[in-house]
Amino acid sequence: MKKKKRYNIAVVGVGAVGIEMLRILKERNFPIKELRVFARSKRDIQVDGDTYHVLPISSEGFEGIDIALFAGTEGENGAAVTYAPDAVRKGAIVIDNGADFRLKPDVPLVVPEVNAKDIKKNKGIIANPNCSTIQMVVALAPIHKLSKIKRVIVSTYQAVSGAGRSAIAQLDNESKKMYGLDSGVDTDKAFAYPIAGNVIPQIGGFGDSGYTSEEWKMVYETQKILHSDKIKISATTVRVPVKIGHSEAIYIETKKLLDINVVRDAFFNTPGIILKDDVANSDYPLPLDSEGKDEVYIGRIRRDPFLDNGLWLWVVSDNLRKGAATNAIQIAEYLIGKRP
């Protein structure tokens, strides 16, 4: 990308992730010359006291845009399918948070702490991985450098915000009714089952071998980001009654025996990771720790008592920020030569 003092930026979508994109662009002082915000309809929105004029999306709207950030919607064909090719033809580089381009061979799938070099391979579109994949590969990468990973088994505990604003509203309303704080206001339900006081062991539709689309994303996206289709990955993804912050229990089998202290040091010295691993004082990552933060939190690091080369981790991250918006904007920062 041609070096400039300031850049013309487009944000497409004003749902939960789009709002975070606007917030993080401001927080990180991204050098913006002009900001255009697109959605299906024209309106004004407020974010942290700032007013943004939202324009109806059109192909013509990308004229002169340097970087287009598509907020995306998990489980649906995102706006990028329709508008990204036009944006690229008009000279923009597209960073898409949706699922549509992630596994395309000619589209880099990037977590900057892990595979920033892949950004250079873009042909106009760069994909943002799935939220649950992002935090997992941030945790896996330092270990993979110490010893190649053979196998990963992961169970996720994913916040409702990953399913959008309607899911947050469902949790809020059901919680009010459950605890008698308010009668609650019935809204369109994001989930087929109640989520307050409940967990739902399905994210996405069921497909091959009884695994969901979310679970297969974690397999194929992780292999692509780490440049290894030899890593055997099995996932169970679960929706839990938490508003923000995905948690993951990750089991890792490495080729070589690793000293636990060496693993801890690797995490401690990796940008983007916060180590909270003092079990003697019950200090470990919680979703509340990660809310509003851009780092991945790691704790409860322990060896499998029955397999020397096996490790367990507990990993937590804000799914709207590092799991989506922040990761996309970090990619944009790399494009313009701004490094953390």
Indicate which residue of 53, 131, 144, 227 is catalytic: 131
Q: What is the homologous superfamily of the domain 133-319 according to CATH?
A: Dihydrodipicolinate Reductase; domain 2 (3.30.360.10)
Low-confidence ranges of the chain (pLDDT < 70): 73-77, 183-185, 187, 340
Active-site residue, selected from the candidate residues 53, 144, 227, 246:
246
Residues of the chain within CATH 3.40.50.720 domain(s) are 7-129+324-335
Annotation marks residue 227 as catalytic: no
> What are the tens digits of pLDDT across the range 53-110?
999 999 999 999 999 999 986 445 578 999 999 999 999 999 999 999 999 999 999 9
**Active site (annotated) includes residue 53:** no
Q: What is the pLDDT of residue 183?
A: 62
Give the pLDDT confidence of 288-320 residue by residue, as tens digits: 999 999 999 999 999 999 999 999 999 999 999
- Which one of 3.40.50.720, 3.30.420.40, 1.10.3720.10, 3.40.50.2020 gives the CATH number of domain 7-129+324-335? 3.40.50.720
pLDDT at 33: 98
Residues of the chain with CATH 3.30.360.10: 133-319
User: SS3 letters for the chain?
Assistant: CCCCCCEEEEEECCCHHHHHHHHHHHHCCCCEEEEEEEECCCEEEEECCEEEEEEECCHHHHCCCCEEEECCCCCCCCHHHHHHHHHHHCCCEEEECCCCCCCCCCCCECCHHHHHHHHHHCCCEEECCCHHHHHHHHHHHHHHHHCCEEEEEEEEEECHHHHCHHHHHHHHHHHHHHHCCCCCCCCCCCCCCCCCCCCECCCCCECHHHCEHHHHHHHHHHHHHCCCCCCEEEEEEEECCCCCCEEEEEEEEECCCCCHHHHHHHHHCCCCEEECCEHHHCECCCHHHHCCCCCEEEEEEEECCCCCCEEEEEEEECCCHHHHHHHHHHHHHHHCCCCC
